[in-house]
Chain A
């Protein structure tokens, strides 16, 4: 915590959620259910990361709820020793909206996938983000349908050959981060399943953000789409492709002799961004990352640095801005009404115009 008042409307995403009396360990968050994803599935790594990270929040476990939809990743709640609901396809954000609005004392997490959140549940996702309901959405993006055994998904690259597209898929894919920013999400981040440190940092910031936080997690499905993100995991390749964001720092990546990164992100054209060699454009031209920029166009431009070919994959927190949350406002209206009008049922039923038969 800083001692200087930055003038930010400073409610934490966890304000109102009771804290635990005792320190917790990762194993406190493991349920008694056997985890049943395929061997080598990226979901295991994310589950472990979440279970290891939650103790640092120090919340009462019973005040944490995981709500999921349908898909491989949506089994997640069963493995968490918290409250949880494994709901129906695409609807978890809508269910979580009702829960978060009714219960300010809960930390509500949605676990979803690329099919669940972006295909069948696309409508709920964008509306939840625009309302800015205080809930955290972990979008496991493996760019394939796993549970139904390998059809292309709304994030699969065009031309993908799958069981349902033997001649290649035709549709243009979504970029989930761009989509979320288009819906004016107040918090958008991205991480790789294999990057425990980066993922944990994004999760921490998401948890503390008051409002909807969308975290896209690139997750490998070894069975139906193995190696989809391998180029981001092989060290030499990764250095050229992964652009990690840190608020207040120049956006640089690549090996570079000085260790600061050979490449940098510069402004170009009409509000868009581009990649250039720092040695060619000079350090001053490199954009300093500001996740608090009110206009979502900046973060959107970051999300467009590469197409689906992962040539420049930006990770970290794209955007984190403050906007009143739907659930806080809805509760405030109820509290205002309670304070200003008596809750007199008999007088409501009686109404204004009555007559009496005696």
Chain B
């Protein structure tokens, strides 16, 4: 397969440079230094060039943490390659440190021999003391293991902008674009896209736009003219499957999935929500797409958000609510009402570090049991978890499909890592999207000629759904237990037992695809099983283990409730099953309880994704142990 890249975003790049197959770059600076924008632009350049890529933003929960301090450090890591990669990379090959705090917070991650580019202008006594440096690390030999490039970025930027008439402060603010320009030169990146982007972004302030473009170019030319950077690098486009791609974050993909679900079901969408990190971007995104019949309601609290969504569903719309773990806790009573009234409802939990307020901007997978069981009574709901940023699109459509077909709230578990991370997305053809249309009840269905809202479809066990406005089908629903069939209030013990079992059977019977196992050798005796956003690091680790000559099988769960029908058989066909999770073993608990398989739970709850390296070590040890036995 030949790889040629074109499209709106494609840009040409300067030829030459030492060929590399992959590079990880981390931009780190103060929250006010524009590191997220810088990283984002570098990513777009990589995308425009046709690399495969994966990104990991990391920023403080405080909007303006004290300047120049360690808690105020914001960073953006981008991994780009000429082959299909799975993670944002464990460690950077290149670290760009805009100030002493950024250096101190990140240097431990840079492997010996790695490239370090520092903005020397910030390495003054005051800033050094602020973060506990007794001596300037640029002056002693503490950075000897690295290839250090000292660049006075602020001074150089101010010099480049001297003739623009821009104030010193404003000029200094463009130093992130200087850094971007320098890195773009080092890695032979196309530059047209960034210049176009800057002119569009600052369209209302042309002088600022020009200043940023000038700073960007100054960085690029600095690389070219100074002798300091003897070597440049080239990462060729990746040989991805043919088709048209774009770069996308998890939250954007999720929002698009909801738009698509509304279109494919031909239902208006009402998102009832309350701002919460890291889910707010779903609200921001959807509020832009009213032309698709989407109403976004920013409610007074989490509870009102989901209640409005449920009210809209009751009226025959697609009700959606988006939140993070603390919000799910508040919404749980309404999810229970959705279970009881058997109405479709999409509940999105973009998980973050917990418990309580926890780590709002960090990632975790610790809401699985909350999603499964966090309600009073026997209250089963389907749970779907996307495995990567781009996968959020398909996951949203799948979750909606289940909600509408089976008339049930569905929990979609994303997390901070995939919500803010990005990767290339093979843009789907709308013609290939599934039809999600629903049939509302229009006629009486009961033996007595009336309408019974709790008569079920024999195959799906979904109840009849008649929306207000349908003549002759007036009925009442609510949170009290229903009589099987008629839906009238019932306190009958046998009826309750039957209804509890019916609700459970409905969820258990949801059709989900069988679990597929990836085992290229066909000889693996160890299976590594994950769910959600850990797909990337687990996959990368499995590849590495295989490269070392060991056999390991990998499978990943997208459906956590119900589990795929073949899961038990899969688990039982391996000597050992390893389950890595960013929690204290929640999936492991479910697997042991359900299948009586003593899986090996490997857990880490650091607020950061797994590193492929650590999982590689864990898997290698286990595989070796099994082989030796």
Binds A, one of B124-132, B301-309, B527-535, B575-583: B301-309
Mask: chain B, 281-312; 1 = CB below 8 Å from A; 0 = not: 00000000111111101011101100111111
Residues 65-82 of A contacting B (Cβ, < 8 Å): 65, 67-68, 70, 77-78, 80-82
- Please, could you name 21 A-B residue pairs with CB atoms under 8 Å apart, sorted by A? A33-B489, A60-B471, A62-B474, A68-B478, A88-B336, A91-B304, A94-B307, A97-B308, A97-B311, A99-B468, A102-B315, A102-B317, A103-B315, A106-B469, A127-B299, A330-B297, A334-B294, A351-B427, A353-B247, A355-B245, A357-B243
SS of B interface (majority)? mixed
Contacts of A331 in B (CB 8 A): 295
Distance in Å: Cβ of B267 to nearest Cβ of chain A: 10
In the complex, the answer to whether B304 meets A334 with C-beta atoms within 8 Å is no
Tell me, yes or no, whether A11 is within 8 Å of chain B by CB.
Answer: no
> When the two chains form the complex, which single residue of B48, B260, B316 contacts A345, counting CB atoms closer than 8 Å?
B260
With A62-B469, A106-B468, A349-B427 known to touch, is A87 a contact of B478 (CB < 8 Å)? yes
The residue of chain A having its C-beta at the shortest distance from the C-beta of B478 within the complex is A86
> When the two chains form the complex, which single residue of B242, B319, B475 contacts A357, counting CB atoms closer than 8 Å?
B242
In the complex, the answer to whether B470 meets A98 with C-beta atoms within 8 Å is no
> When the two chains form the complex, which single residue of B244, B312, B471, B477 contacts A350, counting CB atoms closer than 8 Å?
B244
Contacts of B289 in A (CB 8 A): 337, 348
Mask: chain A, 119-148; 1 = CB below 8 Å from B; 0 = not: 000011001000000000000000000000
In the complex, the answer to whether A357 meets B4 with C-beta atoms within 8 Å is yes
Tell me, yes or no, whether B256 is within 8 Å of chain A by CB.
Answer: yes
With A86-B477, A94-B299 known to touch, is A345 a contact of B430 (CB < 8 Å)? yes
In the complex, the answer to whether B291 meets A353 with C-beta atoms within 8 Å is no
In the complex, the answer to whether A96 meets B311 with C-beta atoms within 8 Å is yes
Q: Which residues of A contact B (CB under 8 A)?
A: 31, 33, 60-63, 65, 67-68, 70, 77-78, 80-88, 91, 94-103, 105-106, 123-124, 127, 330-331, 333-334, 336-338, 340-343, 345-346, 348-358
Contacts of A91 in B (CB 8 A): 303-304, 307, 334
Residues 225-264 of B contacting A (Cβ, < 8 Å): 237, 239-247, 256, 259-260, 263
Mask: chain B, 73-96; 1 = CB below 8 Å from A; 0 = not: 000000000000000000000000
Across the A-B interface, give the 3 residue pairs with the lowest CB-CB distance, nearest first.
A86-B478, A98-B311, A98-B308
Contacts of B569 in A (CB 8 A): none
Contacts of B272 in A (CB 8 A): 98
With A81-B474, A84-B476, A88-B337 known to touch, is A94 a contact of B294 (CB < 8 Å)? no
In the complex, the answer to whether B293 meets A338 with C-beta atoms within 8 Å is yes
In the complex, the answer to whether A98 meets B8 with C-beta atoms within 8 Å is no
In the complex, the answer to whether A356 meets B244 with C-beta atoms within 8 Å is yes
> When the two chains form the complex, which single residue of B7, B290, B319, B476 contacts A356, counting CB atoms closer than 8 Å?
B7
Contacts of A84 in B (CB 8 A): 475-478
Docked pose: A70 CA to B5 CA in angstroms:
61
Docked pose: A99 CA to B313 CA in angstroms:
8
Distance in Å: Cβ of A287 to nearest Cβ of chain B: 35
Tell me, yes or no, whether B554 is within 8 Å of chain A by CB.
Answer: no
Docked pose: A288 CA to B505 CA in angstroms:
65
In the complex, the answer to whether B260 meets A98 with C-beta atoms within 8 Å is no
In the complex, the answer to whether A355 meets B471 with C-beta atoms within 8 Å is no
What's the interface size class on B, roughly?
35 or more
> When the two chains form the complex, which single residue of B247, B256, B297 contacts A97, counting CB atoms closer than 8 Å?
B297
Docked pose: A65 CA to B475 CA in angstroms:
10
Docked pose: A254 CA to B396 CA in angstroms:
65
Distance in Å: Cβ of B487 to nearest Cβ of chain A: 11
> When the two chains form the complex, which single residue of A62, A63, A102, A343 contacts B311, counting CB atoms closer than 8 Å?
A102
In the complex, the answer to whether A85 meets B295 with C-beta atoms within 8 Å is no
With A98-B310, A98-B312, A103-B315 known to touch, is A333 a contact of B430 (CB < 8 Å)? no
Docked pose: A340 CA to B247 CA in angstroms:
27
Distance in Å: Cβ of A23 to nearest Cβ of chain B: 17
Contacts of A62 in B (CB 8 A): 468-474
In the complex, the answer to whether A358 meets B476 with C-beta atoms within 8 Å is no
Contacts of A348 in B (CB 8 A): 256, 259, 289, 292
In the complex, the answer to whether B479 meets A88 with C-beta atoms within 8 Å is yes
Contacts of A80 in B (CB 8 A): 476
In the complex, the answer to whether B50 meets A101 with C-beta atoms within 8 Å is no
> When the two chains form the complex, which single residue of B304, B319, B471 contacts A124, counting CB atoms closer than 8 Å?
B304
The residue of chain B having its C-beta at the shortest distance from the C-beta of A355 within the complex is B7
Tell me, yes or no, whether B480 is within 8 Å of chain A by CB.
Answer: yes
With A85-B341, A86-B480, A350-B246 known to touch, is A99 a contact of B312 (CB < 8 Å)? yes
